[in-house]
Structure 1
Amino acid sequence: MDARTRGVLFDVDGTLVDSSYFHALAWWEAFRQFEHTVPMSAIHRAVGMGGDKLVAHLLGESRDESQDDELKATHDAVFGTYWPSLVAFDGARSLLKRCAEEGLTVVLASSARDRELRVLRRALDADEAIAAATSSSDAEESKPAPDILAAALDAGGLRAEDAVFVGDAVWDVYAASKLGIPTVGVTCGGTSEGELREAGAAEVYAGPDELLEAFASSALGRLGA
C-alpha cells in the first residue's frame, strides 16, 4: 500500500443522523404555509437535493420563483424546531471511529448550514474521529451537483480515486458519480436498496450499524487494507 491519503466522505442527514423525515415534514409545512399541496411522499423522495433544486423539482418551472427564498427560510425555521429530537443512527459514532482507527481520513460532506452542522455533530458525538467537515457555504451549487463532495475532498486532502462516499439518497450517488467516487448506500434515510443500486451505488447496507459489522469486507475496509 502506498503512502497516499485515503478517506471516507460521509453524508450526514439520513446517513449518520436520523433526520430525513424531519426534513420532509419541515418542507411539507413550508409548502402548506404558501398554499402549495405537495404529497409528503414526493417530498421525501426529493430530500437530499439542495433546497433550491428541491423547490424547483417539486413545484415546477411555472412556480412563482419569488417565493423560493421564503420557502427555504420557512423550511429552515421549522426544521430548527426538531433539532432537540435529532439522534445518531445506531453504530454511526462507532463507524466513524473505526474508519479513523483504520487510518482513513473521515470527512463529513454535509450541505447543512454552519449552525445546523454543529447540532448534527453534537448528535454524532464523534469529533475525535472527524478530520474535516463541509457546510452549505462550501458549495456554489447543491446536490446532485458534485460541488460539496469536491469541497470535502479538498478539506480532507484527498483525491477522488482514494475516497469512498457513504450516503442515503439517489442524489448522493449521482453527485459522487460525477467525480468518479464509488458510493456505499444506506437505506436508513428511507430510500430502498433497489433505488440506490439503480442510481449506481456499489454496495448497500441497512445503516451504519450493518456497515460497521461488515466493515472488513466492505468498500471502506478494502480502502484501508
Structure 2
Amino acid sequence: MTSTPSEKSSTPDGRPRRGVLFDVDGTLIDSSYLHTVAWWQAFNQAGHDVPMHRIHRLIGMGSEQLIDELLPEDRDKDGDDAIGAAHGSLFSVHWAGLKPTRGATELLRRCADAGLVVVLASSSNVTEVAAMREALGSDDVLTAVTTATDAEHSKPEPDIFAAALKAGDLRPENAIVVGDARWDVQSAWKLGLDAVCVTSGGISETELREAGAVAVFADPQELLEDFESSPLGRLAAG
C-alpha cells in the first residue's frame, strides 16, 4: 500500500486522479453503537449521567467536541482527557470482534477496480484504525490511510479530509467523501467536497440529506449495487 502521495495529480494517460475519501467508523465498520456504549460507560465512570441517545447522535464528532457538547460548561475540564482515555480503553475490548458493514470491503474493491484512488480518512487513533483495517482486509486496494495524528482538529472541522486529499494526491473537485454522519458532510462541505452518506451508522436519511448529503444509501452494499449511476460511478467515468 502506498502511504504517500505521488508527484503528479494525474494518471499516466493524463487524466486527473479521481478518488474517494472513506470515513471508517459507522461507514465501513459496524461500530457506532459500540462507541456509544463505550462513551456511556466512560462518562458513568467519571460520575456523569449522559443518556445514550444523546451520545449516539454525536458519534463521528471529535472526542473533545463530543465531551464539550455533552457535559456542562462549568465542569472541571481537567478530567476530560481521562474520559477520552477511558472511552478508548473500553472500545478496545471490541477490536477483535469488529466487522465490516454490509458490502464495505466489496465497495472499496469496486472503487479501486474503477480506477479511483481509495483513501481511508479516520479520526480514530492509529491503533484503532489498525484494528479496523484488519477487519476490512482490504489494504491491497488502499492508496493511503489517515488517522487522528494527521489532523490538528477533528470533525466537524475539515482537517482529516484535507489530510486525506493530500495523502491521496487529490484535488477537491476530483474527490468525493463517503460517510455516515452529518459531521462528515459538514467537514466535506468546508473543503468544497460532495458527501455521499450511508445510514449504517444509525443516522436517518432525512437528517443526512438536510445536512447536505448529495445521495444517501442504506449501507455500502446498496451503494455498491447502484455504483454505476451513483456519484461514485459518475466520478469514475469522468
Normalising to structure 2: TM-score of the pair?
0.93
Query: 1:135: Cα distance to partner?
Result: 0.6
Aligned mate of 1:55, from 67, 72, 86: 67
Picking from 11, 26, 29, the partner of 1:17 is: 29
Partner Cα separation in structure 2 for residue 63 and residue 178 of structure 1: 31
Is 1:166 matched up with 2:200?
no
TM alignment of 1:58-137, pairs within 5 A: 58-137=70-149
| Aligned partner of residue 189 in structure 1, secondary structure | coil
Among 204, 209, 215, the alignment partner of 2:221 is 209
Which residue of the partner structure matches residue 166 of structure 2? 154
SS where residue 188 of structure 1 aligns? Answer: coil
What SS class does the counterpart of residue 69 from structure 1 fall into? helix
* Counterpart position of 1:44: 56
Unaligned runs of 5+ in 2: 1-12
TM-score normalised to the size of structure 1?
A: 0.98
2 CA distance for matches of 1:72 and 1:30? 8
Report the alpha carbon displacement of residue 61 of structure 1 after superposing the two structures with TM.
1.8
Structure 2 CA distance, aligned partners of 1:85 and 1:192?
A: 25
- Select 2:208's aligned residue among 191, 196, 199: 196
Letter aligned with residue 122 of structure 1: E
> By how many angstroms is 1:2 displaced?
6.0
**Secondary structure in 2 aligned to 1:62?**
coil
> Per-residue deviation at 1:73?
0.3
* Superposed displacement of residue 194, structure 1: 0.3
**Residues 89-134 of structure 1, C-alpha deviation per residue, up to 9 Å, x if partnerless?**
1211110000000000000001111111110001101111111000
Which has more helix, going by share of residues? 1
Whole-angstrom CA distance in 1 between matches of 2:199 and 2:113: 25
Moved over 6 A (4+): none
Which of 139, 150, 155 does residue 143 from structure 1 map onto?
155
Report sequence identity in percent. 56
Unaligned runs of 5+ residues in structure 1 are: none
